[in-house]
Amino acid sequence: MKLTWLVVGALVAVLLSRAAFVVNEWEQVVITQFGRPIGAPIVEPGLKLRIPLIQTIHRFDRRFLEWSGEAEELPTRDKVFIWVDVYARWRISDPLKFLENLRDEARAQSVLDDILDGETRNVVANHDLRQVVRSTNRTPVLDQSLGEVESSLPPIEIGREQIREAILEEAQAKSAELGIEILDVRFRRINYGESVRPNVYNRMISERRRIADRFRSEGQGDAARILGEMDRELKRIQSEAYRDAHTIMGKADGQAAAIYAGAYDQSADSRKFYEFQKTMETFRATVGADTSLILSTGGDFYRFLKGSQ
């Protein structure tokens, strides 16, 4: 009898242990009985009870979940192929619908692939390339240092942000009946397709070359102007220097002539002494220790030498 009670007690303990379960803060739980949901989803964390062996626990995440798509090459309305890579955030908003339609997160990710990729393709195909890649009608500045702007870009009424919102709205409408809510959709990257990229690069290269040619032309013009000014300034300096040099030389010649005239206007003795001094200076400059002279009796050298005896 005592053994029987021990067995019953053990069974009751096992049943109670299997009946109790814990709901974490980041979970929401749906209990099913023979495959059908029982009661409302449990969203409050804590210790909960169920009927073991009959009722089954299904746990779902309450947190924001990530969806990351694969980059796809899509055509725009103006027949330009671009690579579009998007990602999204979603959550399980209705666990009962989620359980009935999707069962688990792996199936949900697969369904989101179909919804978000399809809506991205549809929305991009309904808009031109400039609307997909541009967000505003701001005027692009090519070179801020020169203040040059390019104003030939056509205006847009719908930009990338409105296209993103359109994708999100269409995807939310399709996912609501599945028990999930798409919170946000974003473009990770938009790039030109392989067939379009060479033409884009060629246009960019041509534009850069045009700007480089303009810079080179302006530089050559400035160089010619600077060289011309330098040559003109050099000629002016040379002309003024030539004028000043000849002015100084003329004044010096005038002063020398005045000195010579003044010397000749002195008395005969003074003139004789002056002539003697100039002759000696000339003699000292032209005659060395090994010089032999043949003097004429009518020359000044002979006359002065003769007169010094």
Write out pLDDT tens, residues 96-118: 999 999 988 999 999 999 999 99
Q: List the chain domain ranges.
A: 2-60, 65-138+156-195, 200-265, 270-288+295-309
* Predicted local confidence at residue 147, as pLDDT: 47
What residue ranges of the chain have pLDDT lower than 50? 147, 149
Whether the Cβ atoms of residue 60 and residue 98 lie closer than 8 Å to each other: yes
Q: What is the pLDDT of residues 18-69, one digit of tens each?
A: 677 888 899 999 988 887 888 888 888 888 888 887 888 889 999 999 999 8
Q: To the nearest whole number, what is the mean pLDDT of the chain?
A: 81
Residue 75: partners with Cβ closer than 8 Å, 6 or more residues away: 81, 124, 125
Q: Out of 3.90.650.10, 3.30.470.10, 3.40.50.720, 3.30.479.30, select the CATH number for domain 65-138+156-195.
A: 3.30.479.30
State the CB neighbour count (10 A cutoff) for residue 176. Answer: 14
* Predicted local confidence at residue 20, as pLDDT: 79
The Cα angle at residue 146 between residues 141 and 147, in degrees rounded to 5: 45
Orientation of helix 268-286 relative to helix 197-264, angle to 10°: 130
* Predicted local confidence at residue 300, as pLDDT: 63
